[in-house]
Chain A
Amino acid sequence: MTTQWDTSRAAGIISKYLPLEGPMLPILHALQEEFGFLSDEAIRLVAQTLNVSRAEVYGVVSFYHDFRQEPPGRHVLKICRAEACQSMGSEANAQKLLETLGLDWGDTTPDGRLTVEPVYCLGLCACAPSAMLDDELHARLDAQGLQALAGEVI
């Protein structure tokens, strides 16, 4: 979910984390949580407040897989692609789903409802394959289960 950018609300969020040692990541997480992604305005405001260059904030944002610079779909499905899930056939299941949806990894459905992303291990490796839909964890997901899960939100 994304919310309209609001500079004063963003400034309020940032100020909450300023007393921390090394506040950059907590600030970026909190802004993304609130606004869905890290826009140019967000990056500019963080740079200003922390008194660092925009390039530096941009460098941090682009380094980490979690941070988005584009708004995601209304729901995000993260499918595990790591080894333990692969050993239980996760790749074939994921490919089938992506084909059904006509998407590639990282894409969003044209109606903006669902973004499908890879994740490398959710720590559910004894009950593979696994995935996370928004904040909800799922394990022992066979091909059908995965399709059904995506079906809940599209």
Chain B
Amino acid sequence: MRIFVPRDSVSVALGSDKLAAAITAEASRRGANVSVVRNGSRGMFWLEPLVEVESDEGRVGFGPMTLADVPALFSGDLKGHPKSVGLVEEIPFFAKQQRLTFARCGVTDPVSLTDYTSHGGFKGLEKARAMTPAAICAEVKDSGLRGRGGAGFPTGIKWETVRNAQAPQKYIVCNADEGDSGTFADRLIIEADPFCLVEGMAIAGLAVGATRGYVYLRSEYPLAISILREAIAIATDAGLLPDFTLEVREGAGAYVCGEETALLDSLEGKRGMVRAKPPIPALRGLFGQPTVINNVLSLAAVPYILAEGGAAYAAYGMGRSRGTMPVQLAGNIKHGGLFEIAFGITLGELINDIGGGTASGRPVRAVQAGGPLGAYFSPAQFDTPYDYEAFTARNGLIGHGGLVVFDDTADMAHMARFAMEFCAHESCGKCTPCRIGSTRGMEVLDKIIARENVAENAALIRDLCDTMKFGSLCALGGFTPYPVMSALTLFPEDFGVTSLPAAAE
């Protein structure tokens, strides 16, 4: 009998290493023939640690498991186990998903090549090897895939630019800096299915003629770093990457290094300062050479696209948002986790139907979409479809797919101040609107919170946000106004503001 105990960061943070040891010990004490597999998580984090036991009908789940729940796993009456959640793949949160990129996550042993290939792995790379670089780029263009790191730029067009550039050395750089609060999809795929990223990067290498790749992975993810390094070594030793050298580089705790040009400077060994564009990284990137820089999720979507065809991927989604998005439900939410679904589902369905509302059981007050640079939404906007353009139309952004839920105890003036504080803390310092504007913004918001000249100071914040939005070099200073202004507009009462039209109903 196989028992699966996840080894991703969440499960480990909740004690899965000790659980695995206890299950092994209990099995040997009883002389039971059990092998414990350390799988990745399925992303149903509210159930973690979620232990799965193989049965004739499928894998039966138990969670959240504690050490005290271990002996009952061996009682012979699995259905009667107090932590049983039934067949894992029938749990509505799981069954309702459309898992293209995350299909293997939680199912397989992340560092088993056999598991990977027997679940469709390396099919895309194999196809790519038989195609011309131009044909690979065309397939990615046909898929409609847009960059999942935040900006939503078409991946196929980026690749095409690098393919057409002439240079002695080209690079594939994977952006695994995942600094946005409320996001963990990069971490999950790296910890649960690292070969998928390796395969995606190797395909990118073939598509543009790059022989070297780097994964810039944040230092806050030590487990992801070690799992990915292990996977790269396994794939390399197995001869699967004959024409591609892949290396993991650890970040050093700077949020701004997720911005692509700051990331390149950091990889080169410098301070992570944002570069002025042009030149674009596709033409002059790492060490001045043509460089594909893509988010983990963009690259991890590629094996499916090559294996099944761009059209198969593009069949999902709405409008110009094609394919699926691993939406990350986080914060004060009952069913927090990763939910991969075609674009088009509404924000309200995600938060209420899938996420089950708040963890505290109190009413939802606000949802921050797209990380610390993303706008707050109120429940009145829950009809917004999950789609790049629909979010833009509501002055928001999808970003990297994070949704952070707050209940009605949240103080939105405080959250607006935090947005400015975070920007000040993380600014690379190259441009004035971001470097100075964020500190001034914090001071002005402090005055508003202390109820000093509220109307005047609110007007000042608006001006300041305009300056930051239009005058900053990158989206750190440029987008910090989103959370600030959305909080002020949607929740003026938290700022003591009464004169806004929104408050005058």
Contact = CB atoms under 8 A, between A and B. Distances in A.
Contacts of B9: 122-124, 137
Closest 3 CB pairs of A and B: A126-B336, A24-B269, A82-B181
B252 A66 contact: yes
21 contacts: A25-B267, A26-B250, A63-B272, A66-B219, A66-B251, A67-B252, A82-B181, A83-B415, A84-B330, A121-B181, A121-B220, A122-B13, A123-B9, A124-B184, A125-B181, A125-B402, A126-B328, A127-B10, A127-B45, A127-B336, A128-B332
A125 B252 contact: no
Contacts of B332: 87-88, 128
B252 A84 contact: no
Contact of B269 (A22, A84, A130, A140): A22
A126 B50 CA distance: 14
A122 B182 CA distance: 9
Name the residue in B178, B180, B247, B268 with the highest tally of chain A Cβ atoms < 10 Å from its Cβ.
B180
A125 B336 contact: yes
B166 to A, nearest CB: 20
Interface string A66-108: 1100000000000000111111100000000000000000000
A126 B333 CA distance: 8
B410 A87 contact: yes
Interface residues of A, number: 40
B221 A123 contact: yes
Contacts of B338: 126
B271 A63 contact: yes
Chain B binding surface SS class:
mixed
A93 B425 CA distance: 21
Contacts of A86: 415, 418
B330 A25 contact: no
A127 B14 CA distance: 9
A123 B267 contact: no
B45 A137 contact: no
A84 B331 contact: yes
B328 to A, nearest CB: 7
Contact of B48 (A59, A88, A127): A127
Interface in B233-270: 247, 249-255, 266-270
Contact of A135 (B181, B222, B255, B368): B222
A127 B43 CA distance: 11
Given A60-B269, A121-B220, A126-B337, A28 B252 contact: yes
A143 interface: no
Interface of A: 20-26, 28-29, 59-60, 63-67, 82-88, 119-128, 130, 132, 135, 137-140
A149 B172 CA distance: 41
B271 A59 contact: yes
B254 A124 contact: no
A20 to B, nearest CB: 8
Given A83-B182, A87-B404, A29 B10 contact: no
Nearest to B429: A63
B46 A121 contact: no
A123 B333 contact: no
Contacts of B359: 88
Contacts of B13: 122, 124, 127, 130, 137-139
Given A83-B418, A125-B183, 13 more contacts: A24-B270, A25-B266, A60-B270, A65-B254, A82-B422, A83-B372, A84-B404, A86-B418, A87-B331, A121-B180, A126-B184, A139-B14, A140-B14
B407 interface: yes
Contacts of B12: 137
A136 B407 CA distance: 29
B425 to A, nearest CB: 8
A108 B372 CA distance: 29
Contacts of B267: 22, 25
A65 B184 contact: no
Contacts of A125: 181-184, 328, 330-331, 336, 402, 404
Contacts of A127: 10, 13-14, 45-46, 48, 336
B405 interface: yes
Given A119-B220, A126-B184, A29 B252 contact: yes
A65 B46 contact: no
A142 to B, nearest CB: 12
Interface string B46-71: 10100000000000000000000000
Nearest to B12: A137
Contacts of A82: 181-182, 372, 422
Interface in B338-385: 338, 359, 368, 372
